[in-house]
Structure 1
Amino acid sequence: MTQPKFFEGVFPAITTPFHQDGSVDHAFLRDHARWMMREGSRGIVPLGSLGEGNTLEESEKIAILETLVDALGDAPVIPGIGSLSTQGAVRLARAARDVGCQGLMVLPPYVYTSDWREMKAHMAAVISATELPVILYNNPIAYRTDFLPAHILELAGDHPNVRAVKESSADVRRATALAAALPAHVELMVGVDDLLLEGVLAGATGWIAGLVNAYPAESVRLFDLARAGRLAEATELYRWFLPLLRLDTGIKFVQLIKQVQEETGHGSAQVRAPRLSLAPEEIGEVRQIVQQAAARQPALV
Structure 2
Amino acid sequence: MAHIWQGVLPAVTTKFNADFSIDRAWTGKNIEAQIDAGVDGIIVCGSLGEASTLSLDEKLQVLDVAVEASRGRVPVLLTIAENSTLDGCRQAEAGAKRGAAGYMVLPGLRYLSDRRETLNHFRMVADASPLPLMIYNNPLAYGVDMTPEMFAEIADEKKIVAIKESCGDVRRVTDLINEVGDRYAILCGVDNLAMEAILMGAHGWVAGLVCAFPHETVAIYKLLKAGRLEEARAIYRWFAPLLALDVSRSSCRTSSWRKRLSALARSRCVRPVCRSPATSARPSRR
TM range (shorter): over 0.9
Partner of 2:251: 253
Shift of 1:234: 1.1
- Structure 1 spans left out of the alignment, 5+ residues: 280-301
Q: Give the percent of matched residue pairs that are identical in Structure 1 and Structure 2.
A: 39
Pair 1:275 & 2:274 matched: no
Partner of 1:106: 105
- Structure 2 spans left out of the alignment, 5+ residues: none
Distance between the aligned counterparts of 1:215 and 1:151, measured in 2? 35
Q: Is the 8 A contact 2:10 2:206 kept in 1?
A: yes
Bigger Cα displacement from structure 2, 172-181 vs 123-132: 172-181
Distance between the aligned counterparts of 2:215 and 2:116, measured in 1? 42
Partner of 2:36: 38
Shift of 1:263: 1.1
Shift of 1:183: 3.9
Q: Is the 8 A contact 1:5 1:187 kept in 2?
A: no
Letter in 2 for 1:271: C
Letter in 2 for 1:234: A
3-state SS of the aligned residue for 1:11? strand
Shift of 1:70: 1.6
> Could you list the per-position Cα deviations for residues 142-184 of structure 1 after superposition, in whole angstroms to 9, with x for gaps in the alignment?
11111101111222x2211211100000111112211333343
> Could you list the per-position Cα deviations for residues 86-123 of structure 1 after superposition, in whole angstroms to 9, with x for gaps in the alignment?
11000001111110110111111111112111111111
Distance between the aligned counterparts of 1:21 and 1:41, measured in 2? 31
Q: Which has the higher helix share?
A: 1
3-state SS of the aligned residue for 1:160? coil
Partner of 1:92: 91
Q: Is the 8 A contact 2:31 2:66 kept in 1?
A: yes
Q: Is the 8 A contact 1:7 1:164 kept in 2?
A: yes
Aligned ranges 1:111-260 → 2 under 5 Å: 111-155=110-154, 157-260=155-258
| TM-score of the superposed pair, with normalisation by structure 2 | 0.92
Q: Is the 8 A contact 2:149 2:179 kept in 1?
A: no
Distance between the aligned counterparts of 2:14 and 2:69, measured in 1? 15
3-state SS of the aligned residue for 2:4? coil
3-state SS of the aligned residue for 2:264? coil
3-state SS of the aligned residue for 1:207? strand
Letter in 1 for 2:135: L
Letter in 1 for 2:126: I
| TM-score of the superposed pair, with normalisation by structure 1 | 0.88
3-state SS of the aligned residue for 1:78? strand
Letter in 1 for 2:50: E
Distance between the aligned counterparts of 2:225 and 2:115, measured in 1? 34
Q: CA RMSD in A?
A: 1.5
Letter in 2 for 1:113: L
Distance between the aligned counterparts of 2:11 and 2:168, measured in 1? 17
3-state SS of the aligned residue for 1:90? helix
